[in-house]
Amino acid sequence: MPTVSPPALPSLQGLSAQGRVWRAHSLGQATAAVVPSSFAALDAELPGGGWPLQTVTELLVPQAGVLEWRLLAPALRAWWAAQATPNQATPGRGRRAARAEPARRTLLLVNPPHTPHLPGLQGLGLDLGMQAQALVWVATATPAQALWTAEQAIKSRVAVLAWLPEARPEQLRRLQVHAQSSDAPAFLVRPEHAGQQASAAPLRLVVRPGEESGGWALDVHLLKRRGPAHEGWLKLQAVPGAVEPLLTAGWRVPAPAEISAPLPAEPAVPIHSPSPAEHPHALAGPVLQA
C-alpha cells in the first residue's frame, strides 16, 4: 500500500504573516475588520488600528451615560454610514421615478441609564432618524433580560451598545463567543470597578472625564489588549462638532490633544452625579466635576 504523508503543518512564520500569531511585546494584528475610532492616538494603541469587529469591547466608566457616547459616536457614525446597501427601487407612478433608499442595519441600545436624547445624538453626528428602526432602545426589567437581549442581538449581527453593570465573567465569555460570528460592533459599558474582575473581552478600556476643554476631553487607559501593557493615559479631545461653536472662547483653546500622560499612582476623579432636574437626558450637557 502506498504511504500517505501527513499534511505539512503551517510554519510559525507563515502564521505570523497572516496575523494569526502575535508576540506579547508588540500589538496584535486584527484578523477581522476594524472600525477607526477617529482618534489618531487611540487608533495607534488599538490592535489593528481601530475598534475590532467579531469581538466584544468593554468600556469601564465612573459614570455611565455620557463618556461612552463621546468616545464611540464617531466610530458608530462611520460604521452605520459605510454598511448601507441599496434597496430595490419601487416603480414610480406617472413621471415621478422612485429612488432607491439605503437599507441600514440597526444600532441597538440595551438598558441605557438615561432616555436616549435624539437632539443630543444628532449633535454627536448620529443622525439616525432618517430611517425607521435605525436606532432601537430596549429597556429591560432585570439584568437577566438585558443580558439575553444583548446576546440575541449579537447573534443576529446587530450593532450593540449595552449597559451591563452586573454581568458575570461566564456571561461575558458567552457574549464573546457569539461575537466571533458577527461583523457588527459590540460594546459593553460597565462600572470602572469591574476592571478588577476577570473578563473574556479581548479589549477593555477605562474612560474618565478629562479636565481640558471645560470637561469635554476624555482620559483613556487601555486596561487589556492583544499586545504589551498600555502605560499612561491618552488625552483625547472629544468636543462634538455641533457643540464646539457654542463653547466660550476660553473653552475653545485646545489643550495638547491626544497625548499620553503618566499613569497616576492613585487616580481619583471626583464625579458629581447630576440630578434629573439638572440633566434629564444623557447628552444634555458635559459631566459636572466638583
Q: Which residue in this structure is represented by grid cell 465573567?
A: 169
Would you give per-residue pLDDT tens digits along the chain (290 residues)? 566 566 665 555 554 455 555 455 555 555 668 999 999 999 999 999 999 999 999 999 999 988 999 999 999 988 887 766 554 444 444 444 444 445 567 889 999 999 888 888 887 877 765 555 678 899 999 999 999 999 999 999 999 999 999 999 999 999 999 999 999 999 999 999 999 999 999 999 999 998 765 667 899 999 999 999 999 999 998 876 655 555 555 555 454 445 455 544 444 444 344 444 444 444 444 443 33
The predicted pLDDT at position 11 comes to: 58
The predicted pLDDT at position 288 comes to: 38
- Residue 40 φ then ψ, to 5°: -60, -40
One-letter-per-residue 3-state SS of 123-188: HCCCCHHHCCCCEEEECCCCHHHHHHHHHHHHHCCCEEEEECCCCCHHHHHHHHHHHCCCCCCEEE
The predicted pLDDT at position 28 comes to: 54
Q: Are strands 203-209 and 218-224 parallel, antiparallel or unpaired?
A: antiparallel
Question: What residue spans define the domains of the chain?
Answer: 27-84+102-261
Is the CATH number of domain 27-84+102-261 3.40.50.300?
A: yes
Report the distance separating Cα 29 and Cα 123, nearest Å: 33
**Grid coordinates in use for 248?**
466660550
Q: Are strands 102-103 and 203-209 parallel, antiparallel or unpaired?
A: unpaired
* 3-state helix vs strand vs coil in the chain, percent to 5: 30, 20, 50
Residue 27, number of CB atoms within 10 A of its CB:
17
